[in-house]
């Protein structure tokens, strides 16, 4: 990988670490957007609002290890092809990207509670519909 790209990726990670998040725009250079897209493809950053990016757990690990390159060399359980990325309207698309991650899926508490609320709402609605018949 290009040393300038790696340097920019490390700078972006540190910038997000200092500011908690960054925003990207159409005015950003292609090189900058490419670096952001690569970081996202490595699951080091994630988009949480349109064009707003924050560190993931892996991003924090990369910072603790000192660089993106150190993280990628250390993380033997992730195999990502970096040559098949393209930028479309400021977002990233991954083509023929192979990724193997040996990690358990974490339970998303908010999603779980949303399902419970939806089921309870459905039950209350059904009860309201059948109550007049009794």
| Domain containing residue 25: CATH number | 1.10.10
In a domain, 114, yes or no: no
| pLDDT value of residue 75 | 58
| Per-residue pLDDT tens over the stretch 1-46 | 789 999 999 999 999 999 999 999 999 999 999 999 999 999 999 9
Per-residue burial over 90-103, b if 16 or more Cβ lie within 10 Å, else e, is eebebeeeeeeeee
Task: Give the residue numbers spanning the domain of 34.
Answer: 3-105
| Per-residue pLDDT tens over the stretch 77-133 | 545 544 444 444 444 444 433 343 333 344 467 777 788 888 998 998 998 888 888
In a domain, 47, yes or no: yes
Q: How many domains does the chain have?
A: 1
In a domain, 10, yes or no: yes
In a domain, 126, yes or no: no
In a domain, 66, yes or no: yes
In a domain, 14, yes or no: yes
Burial class, 21, CB count within 10 angstroms (exposed 0-12 / middle 13-18 / buried 19+) = middle
In a domain, 33, yes or no: yes
Which of 67, 32, 72, 39 is CA-nearest to residue 54? Answer: 39
In a domain, 64, yes or no: yes
């Amino acid at each position: 990988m290009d040393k300038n790209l790696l340097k920019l990726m490390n700078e972006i990670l540190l910038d997000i670490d200092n500011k908690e998040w960054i925003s990207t725009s159409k005015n950003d250079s292609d090189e900058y957007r490419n670096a952001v897209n690569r970081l996202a493809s490595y699951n080091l950053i994630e988009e949480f609002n349109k064009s707003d990016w924050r560190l993931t757990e892996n991003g924090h690990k990369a910072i603790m290890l000192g660089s993106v390159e150190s993280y990628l060399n250390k993380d033997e359980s992730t195999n990502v092809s970096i040559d098949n990325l393209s930028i479309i309207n400021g977002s990233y698309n991954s083509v023929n990207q192979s990724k193997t991650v040996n990690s358990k899926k974490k339970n998303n508490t908010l999603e779980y509670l949303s399902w419970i609320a939806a089921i309870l709402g459905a039950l209350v609605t059904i009860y309201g519909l059948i109550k007049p018949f009794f």
